[in-house]
Structure 1
Amino acid sequence: MKKATLFLVTIAFWLASGTAQTRIIDSLKRQVWTQSTEQGKLKAILQLCEESRSLHRDTLEYYANYARRLAAKVGDQRDRVLAELAIANMNYRWGWIDTALAIIDPVIKSLHTEDNNVRDLKFKLERQKALYLGGQLRYSDALTVLYKLVNEAEKYRDTLTIGANINTIGSVALQRSAPRIALTWLQRALIYNTHDLRYEPVLAAIYTNMADAYLQLQKLDSAEYYIRKGVGLFSKEQNLSNLAHALQRQSSIYIRKKEFDKAEMALRQMIDVRRQTNDGAMWLDDNLTLVDFYLETGQADKAIELCRQALLRGNVADSSQPVGRIFANNVNLRLDYYQALARAYKYAGRDSLYQETLERIISAKDSFYLANSAQAIAEVQTKYEVQKKENLIIQQKLDLTRKNNLFYLTVAAVVFVAVVALILFESYRRREKLKVRLMLEKEKDMAQKAVATAEENERKRIAADLHDNLGAYAASIASNLDVIHTEGRDDQEIIALHELHNNSRSIVSQLGDTIWALNKEALTLTAISDRLKILVKRIAPSYPQIEIEVTENVVQDTGLPPTQAFHLYQIVQEALVNAVRHSGGNRVQIHIEAADSWQIIITDNGRGIWTENSKLTGGGNGMENMRKRASTGGWVVNWKPATPSGTTVSIGPTTI
């Protein structure tokens, strides 16, 4: 598309009221300037920027930047998003599509479809992104965005978004010369028509695209039917950009139908609409399109008149000029019109005027080259100054970067040294702590070993002393008592001798048990079981009417310190003695069970101990001593009735 500079002059009405475009735009502008608060002004400007395709580009740029400033100052998230959209649309209108995409992409990423408050904004921005991509002819990328957008909109039943984007997918198919595929999409878009006024702009676009599809399929009556509906709705909506596009399509349909008067009318209406949008480059192209139309339809005089009117020079500040007059004062613009005029004269057979126009073309080209040379020199000078400033800025940034890098490197080096020093210090401290801990543990082990050795030596010494001294004396007493005769003595003396004999034997037995325990570093349950069997053999002759049995099921033997072994042996012995003396039964069983834990059970079949004075909370000194010994060893001793009669005594660790 050619760039050109056009100068628009108006009479006093335009100078007083500004360039009129549409009633909607004029109304929105009045709302902007009648607002008394910044918040109200922001809302009105954002609503005006929604008409971005119909506003003059300069006007859109002014209001978009104004909206961004106000949104940053007094707007909420929604206002800021719409302001960024206005900036992106402004860049798109100027043809800076990459910039528009760079603005809109991060805003889209900041919005989430799940958020009901911003879902419509996300859909709006994603649609604009697809349109931007289409403007770069990146149709595959645009379709990727559109398909995803339609799927998301269907989840939330947003018929307006679905219809608009399905229509755009159909439009892409038209650009790819696939009218039948396009019609499939466009007819699907019509299904979502909710007969809501908000859907009318979508309907207008659908009808226009359907007309284009039927035009490509050579179905001109259908094309004319739908383009009339599209033009009517766009006129009602006052969407100037889309209206101009629809009028251009309408002229193409009429040309194909050989209805040239209608085609000319549509083209002239299109040019008038283009003027209202202030797209100067489009005016030139549209005028030249109209010239070509006149020449193709044999209307050379109209083509000549159009070019001559376009070549008028004038003063844009002169209010006496006719309303809406366009002046082609720019040499670049005049050259294009002279070339079109020359073609028109040649077509009409006006050779002298054709020759004169060719001379003017040569003159215009000279002026063009002079203007372009001066412009080129100015541009080169400007580029040189800009480049010089940019180089200076780059050098300053480089110097600053170097200083920053030196500073950061210094800081990093200091931090690195500090971290290394800290790591080394922590490592040294851990090693020292480890050394101290190992020394303490070693000293503790040595102390424990020394104590254990001392205890072992003392235990063996005590056992030896008991055996050599008390044991010998007790054995001597028992032996001497055996030789004392009871003949000729009275009953009391005989009883006393028997008591002395029994007590001396008990002393010898108790000393034997004590020495047995003290002589060992540790005693297993098996060893205790063997000792109990010896005990049973010793007392069994005194109770021939009672069957005493020792059984064991030792899967994993457990070792006990001598003191604990002695206490355990004494507890079992006390339970056994109580059973044979007081139970009144004829059978006593001692069972030793050992696996992961251990337990010793003494059971008799006597009367039981659940009389009033034999409960667990009561009982004699023997039961209390058994409890104390069990507590000392970390065990628990329990008494309970046996089945069908008798008593069961169990001893085991407290975890049982």
Structure 2
Amino acid sequence: MKITAPCKGLFLIALLCMSNLIATAQKKSVVDSLNKILSLNNPKDVKYINALNSLAYLFAKTDSAKAMNFAMKAKNTSQIKKYTLGLADAYKAIGVVNSYKNRTDVAIQNFNISNEYYTQLKNNREIAGNYNNMGIAYKLVGNLEKGLFYLLKAEKLHSAINDSDALGVDLSNIGAVYSEMGMYNKAIEYYFSSIKLAEKSKKTKAIAQTYINIGNIMRLQKNFRAATPYFEKAVKVFTDYNDQLNLGIAHLNNANVYIEQSAYGKGIEQINKSLDAFKKVGFKRGIQICYNNLGALYMRQEKYKEAIPYLEKSISLATEAKNFTGLALVQQNIGFSYTKLGDLKLAEEWFDKAEVSAKLYSRNEVNTLSEILNHRSSLDSAKNDFQSAFMRRDKYRTIKDSLLNERLGKQINELNTKYETEKKQQQIVLLNNRNEIQFLALGKSELEIKNKTLENQRNVSEIGSQKLVLQKNKILITQKLTETRAKAQKIKLLASQNAVQKLEIFKKNIIVLTTLGSLIITILISYLIYNRYKVKQEKKLHAEIIQQQDLATKAVLNAEENERKRISGELHDGLGQMFSAVKLNLSAITEGLQFKDDASKAVFEKTLNLVDDSCREVRVISHQMAPNVLLKSGLTAAVRDFISKIDARKLKINLETFGLQERIDQNIETVLYRVIQESVNNVIKHSGANVLDIQLSKDEDGINVMIEDNGKGFDTSQLEKFQGIGLKNIRTRIEFLKGNVDFSSKMGAGTLIAIFIPCGNS
């Protein structure tokens, strides 16, 4: 099991630029001066209320209980005095404290009340400041979209009132949100805009805070060489200002750069510097994170006994401050450490606590519980309760699969939502068309009424013509005009009927297109489901093929190793014994043998020496084919024993090992020993080198082997010319362990062989 797994979520990064909520320096002189104001002024005085609010801001981050006490006193006193500014500042301070306690809903409620009072005072600067506070509150709990919304509102308002200092903080905070969204280029763009404003107003500390954020982006992009200088610049600025709070945050962030490069010694050094700085200002949350990270680092190095006290200190501080974020994972890590130390009873108690904390305090309860199930299975295995171990691992996989299915379901729901939205839009178009049809129908009814009216008028005209013959021509003209109008109305009616027919056709076309769209989406979803099923089946088949290939390769290597052992035994017990008998017989013969001359005696002694040399050579070959030290003492001892037999005057071999204090799998030891043996023999035979460096190391990722000589080298672009049986054997053995091997060489510049075996096989 990988040791990195139980450390998940422990390395917390504090971003100082997000701390616009409070003043960054809590100098003793400032606190003393504010306390002096409290002692000299009447509790109902405006200066007294302002001092209370200022103290609340100062302690909001380092001592929430004290900060809340000051803010509530300011609020109550302001209500009695009806002091609007005091109420606005008090509600803002209460929002700040709740924000750092991750009580986001309570924080937002107080910020909104604060803004109502600032609106009465027409104080746009403070309103914008509260928008910034709201953005930070949402950001602290991971609601980045809402956080960005309020930060952009703060930026717009600060820009409108030309408050460049506050605008610089807004830009830095927006950059931090984009960074957490993974939009690093956008984040860096905002960070440098913030730095430009800070440089104009000579805000050196604000620039240093932004350096920390840029360094973190470089770290996230694995550009460690570029990240460290930004953190070091920030450290220098905060050291010059004696700003211990921000200095601790800079060291804590810099530690993560070294940790991600597995330079744990330097990482611990940086965390200890951060711890010292936080202790000087009493920043309990920072101290808690430092203890937490130190415990995780020792776990990564498999120093579980050293890790537990730090993790327990972290839990103690979290309980004292009632800040239970990530508590379940820390408790799980203590349980895992006790499992590794063999104290299974204590391990079980800590895993039980972790499960309770996950249900009470974890925002992502299901995911946290799945991690606890995964690591608790190691405890079950240690107790030989393999059924429970299997059940927990199976439940862990089920949860992970359900989370994956949930994400897929959300994607499908998004597609359905888009489809339904388009469908509703089309329905709206249809309703509009129906309204037009109804309007035309009303027009038709009006035309019919007008026609009836015209007919009545015509009847009246006929009656009038009988009575008034003189008006006959006039009536006839009127009748013709009326008929002309009626024809025009009929033409309009026919045009309206044509429009209605076109709308009906358009309606049918929309229905057809809607049905066709539904069918296409159904086919697409079916295809995605089928394709997913097909990919799963192919993965299963591929895994089975790989397993069979592994079994075949393992059988070949086992057969080869067994054959080596058999030949070694035959050489040692057969040929070696025969040579020993020959030497014994020859020694016995020489006691009673008289030589003709000194030359004959010299030949006989030379023959006896050859027999003796042959005995030693047989023993050496037998030992190389199946070295007992590999079976008894492990890989490191076997390699040292092997290279000790090589003449250092011809080839000096330097061996370094890291993290191999415990034995690893016998197959891995055997394969790596043979690979190193083959590589050293190749160096002796072909390279002409006089120095050879061998480095063996094991960490949480796996086992690394580096073999480097200073020989004549070769052209790696023509590797096939040099790839004899030896190099093929090396590749075959390493590929059997799911590892990889790289050959790096140039003519006249030596050769480097880099081998990596992943931790799943180590």
Q: Under a length normalisation based on structure 1, what TM-score does the superposition of the two structures give? A: 0.45
Q: Would you tell me which structure has more helix in proportion to its own residues?
A: 2
TM-score, normalised via structure 2 length: 0.39
Greater gyration radius:
1
